[in-house]
Amino acid sequence: MGAIQLKDIRLQEYDLDNLQLLRELRKESMAAKPRVCIERARYITEYLKGASGDLSDDSKGTSNEPMEIRYARAVKYFLSHKEPLFFDNNKLAGTTTSHPFGAPVYPELTGLTIWPELDTISTREKNPLILEKSDAEKLNHSIFPYWMERNVLEYTRKKYHNPDCMKLFERIVFFIASKSGCISHTVPYYRKVLEKGIEYIIQEAAAREKEIRGSNNSSSKACSADESKRSIEFYQAVQIALEGILLYAARLSQKAAELAARESNPKLKENYRKMSEVCSQVPAKPARTFREAVNCIWIIQIAIHAENINMAMSPGRLDQILYPYYRRDIDEGRLTIKEAMELIGCLWLKLNDNTNLVPEVAEELFGGAGTVPAVTIGGVDENGEDAVNDLTYIMLKVTELLKTRDPSLNARYHYEKNSEMYRDRVAEVIVNTKSVPALHNDIVDIEVLRNQGVKIEHARDYAVIGCVELAAAGRSYDASSSIMLNLVSALELALYQGKRPITGDEQIGPVTGDPSKFQSFNEFMDAFQGQLKFLIEEAIELNEHFGHSHQEILPTPLLSAFFEGPMEKGQDLIFGGALYNSSGATHIGYADTVDSLNAIEQVVFIDKKCTFAELVKALQADFKDNDKLHAYLVQRTPKYGTDHPVAIKNSQALIQFLYDLYQSRVNYRGGKYKPAYWSMTNHAGHGRLSGALPNGRKANQVFASGITPASQAAGDLSTCLRAVGSLKSTCIPGGEALNLKYPSVTGEEDLKKFSQAVEAYFRFGGLHIQFNIMSYETLIDAKNNPGKYPELLVRVSGYSAYFKDLNEAMKEEIITRTAYDLRTGKAIPFPKAK
Amino acid sequence: MFESIMNLITFRSLREKLLRKRLLDSLESGTAEGFLTLLLNLMSLVLLLDKDYRQNTKDFQGKYLFKSRDNSIVVSTQFKNGNMTIAQKAINDPNIAVIFKDSKALMNFLLSPKPDILNSMLKQDITLDGNLNYLYKFAYMATHLRLMATNALT
């Protein structure tokens, strides 16, 4: 697999001047204004209202069909009515929405949160989305009212009688339970549909259904009547939902043929004719060519979003999945490298054709993210051998040329198996794009998955979900963003005996004692861990409630058909059908929490510079009139990211505590909870809502991102990499995001150092690393003059975003992230304000 | 009979104009005192006078309770069979209860130029108990009213 046949892995002869199609499509993509698309919401609602009565109660309505089948029919109804649209000269047929750049509405999830903005969303200040007046009226009068009692959040609230865990979630400042918003964050399995086609999968489901019916009639029943019934329903639902994809593809084919017949430009005519031909083959039948394979994947992506929200549905290891088709076409002279680049570029741009729909205040606090479909390249294959191939380099080149927000490209690197040539090329692309791809450590990632019970060949075939999370691609359903927990909130609850400054006098957590009376640091750690345990248990309880609600009202037969496990078990993904199951819980404010623990231990219990009461008083006053203590906390206390033993001890202890706690819990699908440390933009939003901390961070300042040390805390690059890399990686099964910044990387020597720093970090044991190659000054200028940097792409905490789209706090966090001088390995001081 | 109806319509139209002006003044000056009653009364009148706006309450049933944290303000409103009723007292089993720190907080929450539901929750100026979708709908109606009042509807 790993044989490289390209003469030049940099593909230097190609650029956007001789890839005119990509230049043109990129220009259009960048210029496209996002529009709200109600097509899906309209058809799904229309079907459920008209044909099936009440979504959440089988006893009402005109149909008594089980939800699994009813929902499959709704998805099929939508796909069979979905408009086949061709907006541009892209070589791939199909669009996620009815607009060139659309935000689909998912009213069963969080769609109703934009209800108050129906009149203003087109003109709002932050990331406006154009909404046609007629569409707003449809949402207001016929779509949203239907879902008022039926979306996941309200269904769950009613079913569990507005439980305390839900009330706590709705305070927002403790944890976010993402399941109210989606079944998402996963990597489907595309190999089967490419090799066999959807008609085969439908036939397989029909045969399995028949087999169960047969065994039910025989005397030897292997499973209970209930299980058999559910399996039969599942197989029926798979057939129905997949038929919807076939109908959509057929309409695409027909429409393309019509356009070809009308088109006078020979080149465009041929493209339409070809698309028509491709869609008459895939995804119904096996892909025969590279173009068919790429278009097949794209149509399945669209179809998955007909059923599930557009959030981190990640295509996975495309350089591996598509390689056989590429190789065959190249070898047989059906494809040129340029054409392959065009097709990959077309797919990259298609993956950018949709965005999320969120209310403005969510944009302000947490905004700027795309839909984060992650593509993974490189690493080793299932046999543990170098998997880097020509397509890996083609994908790197296309990424380098297009510099688009999505897909979120992730390069796996196995320092024993992959070549330095590959490593250095990835580094070069990062430098040239200034931010992508992110790098993942194959050796450690595989070990982490093995530790979670994943078979070696499946672990080696891992792919990245959304930001940084690891999946046994197409085999594990990880729901990796189920919980996002603010660690600082637990710290504040411990400091204020179960209360937080932002929630005032309300008793939120248990009364864990007055810190001023603690005689040792361990007593405070006990209090902190008690509060943390309380929050985690609340978050898990709510996630379980949401999981059960999903099982009852939002099954996923379509998505399940593209995984290993559900078809074999006769079980929907949401019921645990995948080979491996887990729920991810990521943490916000890790570095600030660790540094605060360090500061308390050092200042109160070791140096005895102040009493605990004095410290808490200073925090409550946001260090007003207490400059001396503030300076001491900032400058003299142990910092995570250094080799100070207190910092190392506390950083390890927190990781271990969270790992032990989460891993002891089993989710509703029979999988474990997996702690993680990536924060998207939440560290900025939550930072704005938190009081002053013992590490000297003042109130309302942003937290450090992911697992990254706090800004300016770690002065030496190699020490920082060692400290982070030495965290016990098997205790971080949900993934981590380490963000580094270099002001510039110029010349071969710098590039070599850049690569070597990555390798050193991986040899220390780090899981993931990503970069922004830009100086403080550039970022400050970009903040002050957004018009000068319309396409400035930055890595946030696990994904890419256009800097201009980020909220102010997030911009500030990226600006203030420590920048290191690659040559000296030292942190560059933040420029003093002029 | 016809004259009485015309008088009633004229009276309501005049009253609607008056309430609209008072609401605008209130928004402009930031004077929150009494704004909730003003908003609900205006909403009720516009529902009677504007058939497009009235569509918002077609087939809609919802009970809302608004109360200040110190219980000094307690107002409820109910939508049923196309009618809207307002009472200066609590209501049983509301679909959503909105508990606000003070009138200013509620005004910011419902009628600031940006619908500020999430932010108000973050700042804990407002706490909610019940089905949030009812509040989203109400916030839409309130925003729409504000835009109508300021001739800002596109």
Q: Quickly state the pLDDT bin for A370 (edges 50, 70, 90).
A: confident
Question: Does the global pTM surpass 0.90?
Answer: yes
Q: Is residue A366 within 8 angstroms of chain B, CB to CB?
A: no
The residue among B52, B114, B125, B148 with the most chain A CBs within 10 A of its CB, best to mutate, is B114
* Nearest CB partner across the interface for A154, out of B119, B122, B131: B131
On the question of pLDDT at B3 being above 70, the answer is no
Does domain B2-149 correspond to CATH entry 3.30.1050.10? yes
pLDDT attached to residue B76 = 95
Q: Give the percent of chain A with pLDDT over 90.
A: 86
* Nearest CB partner across the interface for B140, out of A118, A153, A503: A118
For A530-556, give the secondary structure using H, E and C: HHHHHHHHHHHHHHHHHHHHHHHHCCC
pLDDT in tens, B71-89: 999 999 999 988 999 999 9
My answer on whether omega of the bond before B94 falls inside 30° of 0, hence cis, is no
Q: Quickly state the pLDDT bin for A60 (edges 50, 70, 90).
A: very low
Instruction: Tell me the chain B residues in contact with residue A171 when contact means C-beta distances shorter than 8 Å.
Output: 121, 124
Q: Is residue A120 within 8 angstroms of chain B, CB to CB?
A: yes
Q: Are A262 and A99 in contact (CB under 8 A)?
A: no
Give the pairing of strands B83-87 and B74-80: antiparallel
CA distance A553 to chain B (A): 18
Phi first, then psi: give them for residue A540, nearest 5 degrees. -65, -40
Q: Provide residues of B within 8 Å CB-CB of chain A.
A: 55-56, 58-60, 114-119, 121-124, 128-134, 136-137, 139-140, 143-144, 147, 153-154
CA distance B103 to chain A (A): 19
Instruction: Tell me the chain A residues in contact with residue B137 when contact means C-beta distances shorter than 8 Å.
Output: 115, 144-145, 148
Q: Quickly state the pLDDT bin for A472 (edges 50, 70, 90).
A: very high
Instruction: Tell me the chain B residues in contact with residue A141 when contact means C-beta distances shorter than 8 Å.
Output: 55-56, 58
On the question of pLDDT at A61 being above 60, the answer is no
Which chain B residue has the Cα nearest residue A161? B130
Average pLDDT estimate for A264-290: 98
Q: Is residue A776 within 8 angstroms of chain B, CB to CB?
A: no
Contact B143 A120 (CB under 8 A): yes
CA distance A86 to chain B (A): 30
Instruction: Tell me the chain A residues in contact with residue B133 when contact means C-beta distances shorter than 8 Å.
Output: 112, 115, 144, 147-149, 151, 154
Task: List the one residue out of A602, A603, A544, A599 whose CA is nearest residue A574.
Answer: A544
pLDDT attached to residue B25 = 77
Contact B122 A124 (CB under 8 A): no
pLDDT attached to residue A176 = 84
* Nearest CB partner across the interface for B60, out of A145, A365, A504: A145
Contact A120 B117 (CB under 8 A): no
Q: Residue A119 is encoded by which pair of tokens?
A: 């009149």
Q: Give the percent of chain A with pLDDT over 70.
A: 96
Instruction: Tell me the chain B residues in contact with residue A149 when contact means C-beta distances shorter than 8 Å.
Output: 131, 133
pLDDT attached to residue A172 = 82
pLDDT attached to residue A97 = 98
On the question of pLDDT at A684 being above 50, the answer is yes
- The whole-angstrom separation of Cα A455 and Cα A474 is 13
pLDDT attached to residue A784 = 95
DSSP symbols for B72-131:
S-EEEEEEETTEEEEESS--SS-SEEEEESSHHHHHHHHHSSS--HHHHHHTTSEEEEE-
Q: Is residue A502 within 8 angstroms of chain B, CB to CB?
A: yes
Contact A359 B118 (CB under 8 A): yes
Contact B143 A689 (CB under 8 A): no
Instruction: Tell me the chain B residues in contact with residue A124 when contact means C-beta distances shorter than 8 Å.
Output: 114
On the question of pLDDT at A587 being above 80, the answer is yes
Contact A170 B143 (CB under 8 A): no
pLDDT attached to residue B120 = 66
* Nearest CB partner across the interface for A151, out of B60, B133, B137: B133
pLDDT attached to residue A57 = 43
Q: Is residue A250 within 8 angstroms of chain B, CB to CB?
A: no
Phi first, then psi: give them for residue B127, nearest 5 degrees. -120, 150
Helix or strand (DSSP H, E) at A291: helix A290-307
Q: Quickly state the pLDDT bin for B20 (edges 50, 70, 90).
A: confident
Contact A361 B116 (CB under 8 A): yes
Number of Cβ within 10 Å of residue A93's Cβ equals 28
Instruction: Tell me the chain B residues in contact with residue A118 when contact means C-beta distances shorter than 8 Å.
Output: 140
pLDDT in tens, A804-814: 888 888 899 99
* Nearest CB partner across the interface for B133, out of A117, A120, A154: A154
Task: For chain A, give the mean pLDDT.
Answer: 94
CA distance A38 to chain B (A): 18
Instruction: Tell me the chain B residues in contact with residue A174 when contact means C-beta distances shorter than 8 Å.
Output: none
Which of A96-105, A209-218, A731-740, A744-753 has the lowest average pLDDT?
A: A209-218
Q: Are A18 and A83 in contact (CB under 8 A)?
A: no
Instruction: Tell me the chain A residues in contact with residue B118 when contact means C-beta distances shorter than 8 Å.
Output: 113, 172, 359, 361-362, 365
Task: For chain B, give the mean pLDDT.
Answer: 83
pLDDT winner (highest mean) among A332-346, B4-18, B125-139? A332-346
Q: What is the DSSP letter of A768?
A: E
On the question of pLDDT at B8 being above 90, the answer is no
Q: Residue A366 is encoded by which pair of tokens?
A: 């947490």
pLDDT attached to residue A797 = 76
On the question of pLDDT at A52 being above 50, the answer is no
Q: Which residue has the higher pLDDT, A391 or B32?
A: A391
CB pairs under 8 A between A and B: 92
Q: Which residue has the higher pLDDT, A6 or A171?
A: A6
**Dihedral over Cα of A329, A334, A336, A339: its sign:** negative
What are the CA-CA distances from residue A575 to residues A83, A476, A566 (Å)?
32, 13, 9
Q: Where are the domains of chain B?
A: 2-149
Contact A689 B116 (CB under 8 A): no
Q: Residue A297 is encoded by which pair of tokens?
A: 């994947």
My answer on whether omega of the bond before A283 falls inside 30° of 0, hence cis, is yes
Average pLDDT estimate for A634-650: 98
Q: Residue B21 is encoded by which pair of tokens?
A: 């002006």
* Nearest CB partner across the interface for B143, out of A116, A144, A364: A116
Average pLDDT estimate for A168-193: 84
Residue appearing with tokens 């109806």: B5
Q: Quickly state the pLDDT bin for A219 (edges 50, 70, 90).
A: low
- The whole-angstrom separation of Cα A628 and Cα B49 is 65
pLDDT attached to residue A733 = 97
- The whole-angstrom separation of Cα A314 and Cα A373 is 4
pLDDT in tens, B90-109: 999 999 999 988 888 888 88
Q: What is the DSSP letter of A806?
A: S
On the question of pLDDT at B63 being above 70, the answer is yes
The residue among A49, A105, A120 with the most chain B CBs within 10 A of its CB, best to mutate, is A120
Which ipTM was obtained for this model?
Answer: 0.91
CA dihedral B76, B77, B78, B79 (to 10 degrees): -160
For B63-66, the CB contacts below 8 A with 24+ separation are B63/B91, B63/B93, B63/B94, B63/B95, B64/B91, B64/B94, B64/B95, B64/B96, B64/B97, B64/B98, B64/B134, B64/B135, B64/B138, B65/B90, B65/B91, B65/B94, B65/B96, B65/B97, B65/B98, B66/B36, B66/B97, B66/B98, B66/B100, B66/B106
Cα of A573 vs its chain's centroid, Å: 18
Contact B117 A112 (CB under 8 A): no
Which chain B residue has the Cα nearest residue A126? B114
In A662-691, the residues whose Cβ lies within 8 Å of chain B are: 689
